[in-house]
Amino acid sequence: MGPPPVGQDGPMSSEVAVVTGVNSGIGRATAIHLASQRMTVFGTVRSVDKAAKLRTMAADAGVTVELVELDVADDESVARGFAQILERVEAVDLLVNNAGVGPIAVAEHCPTSLYLDTINVNLCGAVRGTQAVLPTMRARRRGCIVNIGSFTGKVPAAAQSPYVASKYALEGWTEGLAQELAPFGIRVALLEPGVTRTAIQAKNSEIRNDSGAYDTHYRRMFAFYLAGLAHGTDPFEVAAVVHEAYTTPNPTLRYVCSWGAAESIQGRARMSDADWVALGAIDDDAEYYARFEELLGLDIAPPPPT
């Protein structure tokens, strides 16, 4: 194995994790949680200058997250960033492909460039990080890759067409990857979180509704997320599931967590395709919310105005 990796403050833990996109939400919580489990954690950010909150939260938790500046959407940036990491450590034990974007758009008004940009981050970003760590994982015949997907990779959420497409793609890629890497002793896991307290939706305030025909779609989409946010699933709960996926002696391929994910995934699996399409055809909001709860087990109706 060689000597333990060396950090700024002396020898690092023998277990090394890399988490992409740690400036907010699930990525930040995961980096801090893994560091609290005595792992050496490298967190990737597009700009170190914007990592003040991460540094503060890590300090409050009494841990250190080593920051690496890279953009998962760029081949050369990822190569440079992981080269810096592998100059400091022998290998990466755990890669968490978390960095992602969540644009809001219906298919009619979503430019193809937005589909490509979203897939470049949410799918190809995971591919780039995985390709960077696999040679050393294969050589050691051990390691773990955890991809942060979404319940929308199983249940197409309204008015999020590019995001849904990217998460469906991540589902298929992860399932194939798990089989490809099984002969090398490398564990692959996919998390399918529901609604957590993250900024991913708040960062996408632009509504693409050029025709004005999709007000209902956006209204119902926001109702779903407002219902989820009211329950306030903490991103640290997702971080704990990441650690479980890495450490459990009885691993599975998929892990469902956070508000609404299990109900949505199980409800859609029970539904016929005809029922799914018919749900979208309901005109009246109250009827839609009642049918949504009947089929998916979630009350997303907005509270009456006061």
**Catalytic residue numbers?**
163
Q: Report the C-alpha gap between 18 and 7 in whole angstroms.
A: 14
Q: How far is CA 73 from the centre of its chain?
A: 15
Task: Read off φ and ψ for residue 241, nearest 5 degrees.
Answer: -70, -35
Q: Report the C-alpha gap between 58 and 44 in whole angstroms.
A: 14
Cα separation values, 41 from 96, 164, 248, 277, 278, Å:
11, 29, 19, 44, 47
Q: Counting runs of H as helices and runs of E as strands, what totals does the chain give?
A: 11, 9
Radius of gyration of the CA atoms of the chain, in A: 20
Which stretches does DSSP call E strand in the chain?
6-7, 10-11, 16-20, 40-45, 66-69, 94-97, 143-148, 186-193, 254-257
Q: What angle do CA 13, 241, 41 make, to 5 degrees?
A: 25
Q: Report the C-alpha gap between 150 and 226 in whole angstroms.
A: 17
Bridge-based pairing of strands 40-45 and 94-97 is unpaired
- Provide the CB-side half-sphere exposure for 217 (13 A, CA): 21
Residues, the chain = 306
